[in-house]
Amino acid sequence: MPDTTTPTRPSSRPTVLVTGATGNLGREVVDRLRTQGARVRCLVRDLAGAPPEAEPVTGDLTDPAAFRQALDGVDAVFLIWPLLDSAPAHGLLAELAAAAPRLVHLSSAAVEDGSARQTDPIVQVHADMEALLHGAGLRPVVLRSDTLASNARGWKRQLAAGDVVSGPQAARTAVVDERDVADAAVAVLLADHADRDHGPYVLTGPEILGRAEQVAQLGAALRRDLRFEALPAARARARMLADGLPEPLADALVAAAERRPDSPRVTDHVRRLTGHPAGTFARWAADHAAEFGRRDP
């Protein structure tokens, strides 16, 4: 079981490489690392999109040469694998093995240990990446995150047009605030003891929610009467493509909606790693209401 000791910040100033630094979670990780005095490096395809507070290296995780450059002098790495296929990760594994930084890997709470195959393509690639990292002898600290609250930002286009969010009927899960996941990641990245339990830590929010409940809670924060409309697979796919998602991702999300079961699991691993309890989706919605155009009373 994961330990209950909240890690302390090391005395020296570490350099941390953050992958996925331009995403919802990655930006939160970068902000916290900088606040705690770490040097932050990020690997980005486009320098224009790099967080201004981080040192950018141009490239991506499928480019071993760029990744080698990004790893130079790095003490720790926060790894998010962005692809729907783990095969291109082999070059990355060799570079990580050579550099030997502390490694924190973001995976999925839906991974089922011991299962020959996972429920859907998205969970399968997370399980494959965990296996590849361990098989390469890297011993990452694995953080398995439940559904991120920030996924609700994908509804902005629909909410700008009306009060209905339509999409596939996803599994009910303990939706977790990405800020809590970032707090947990940074706590491990900056821990000054190397013998920490490597997990996996399963990071969840405090309550099980379906899409309809999330939309209703977001509506309360926006002072709007919002509702969720579940769509059959073909229409859900068309809706996601209209919202700008790439076709392979839309297909994977539809497969996840059809195959992934509800999860009743709620853990205290956010508190174990950070010292504070996980926040609710309602709190996330209230804190981010301005992004969605909250109506004044």
Among the listed residues 190, 196, 184, the one whose alpha carbon sits nearest the alpha carbon of residue 12? 190
CA–CA gap between residue 140 and residue 102 (Å, rounded): 7
CA–CA gap between residue 166 and residue 212 (Å, rounded): 10
CA–CA gap between residue 229 and residue 140 (Å, rounded): 40
Strands (E), the chain: 15-18, 39-44, 55-58, 76-79, 102-108, 141-145, 164-167, 201-203, 227-230
Which residues are registered as beta bridge partners of 230? Answer: 167
Query: Can you say how many angstroms the Cα of residue 217 is from the centroid of all Cα atoms in its chain?
Result: 21
The pLDDT score that the predictor gives to residue 293 is: 82
The pLDDT score that the predictor gives to residue 242 is: 86
Q: Is the pLDDT of residue 5 over 90?
A: no
Mean pLDDT, rounded, for 40-61:
91
The pLDDT score that the predictor gives to residue 108 is: 98
- Among 1-5, 152-156, 242-246, the least confident range: 1-5
What are the φ and ψ backbone dihedral angles of 141, each rounded to 5 degrees?
-80, 120
Between 5 and 24, whose confidence is greater? 24
Q: In this structure, are residues 188 and 198 in contact, taking their beta carbons and an 8 Å threshold?
A: no
Token pair in block for residue 232: 């059959």
Reported as a single tens digit per residue, the pLDDT across 78-90 is 999 999 999 999 9
What are the φ and ψ backbone dihedral angles of 94, each rounded to 5 degrees?
-65, -40
Mean pLDDT, rounded, for 37-45:
95
With cut-offs at 50, 70 and 90, classify the pLDDT of residue 163. very high
Which DSSP category does 176 fall into?
B
Give the list of residues 6+ apart from residue 131 with CB closer than 8 angstroms, or none: none
Q: Is the pLDDT of residue 9 over 70?
A: no
Q: Is the pLDDT of residue 1 over 50?
A: no
With cut-offs at 50, 70 and 90, classify the pLDDT of residue 52. confident
The pLDDT score that the predictor gives to residue 252 is: 95
Reported as a single tens digit per residue, the pLDDT across 230-260 is 999 999 999 889 888 899 999 999 999 999 9
Mean pLDDT of the chain: 92
CA–CA gap between residue 138 and residue 131 (Å, rounded): 10
pTM (global) more than 0.95: no
Reported as a single tens digit per residue, the pLDDT across 169-214 is 999 999 999 999 999 999 999 987 555 678 899 999 999 999 999 9
Q: Is the pLDDT of residue 294 over 80?
A: no
Q: Is the pLDDT of residue 49 over 60?
A: yes
The pLDDT score that the predictor gives to residue 296 is: 52
Q: Is the pLDDT of residue 17 over 60?
A: yes
What are the φ and ψ backbone dihedral angles of 122, each rounded to 5 degrees?
-70, -45
Ramachandran assignment for 265, one of left (phi > 0), alpha (psi -120 to 50 degrees), beta (any other)? beta
Q: Is the pLDDT of residue 11 over 60?
A: no
Reported as a single tens digit per residue, the pLDDT across 256-292 is 999 999 999 999 999 999 999 999 999 999 999 999 9
What are the φ and ψ backbone dihedral angles of 166, each rounded to 5 degrees?
-115, 145
The pLDDT score that the predictor gives to residue 193 is: 58
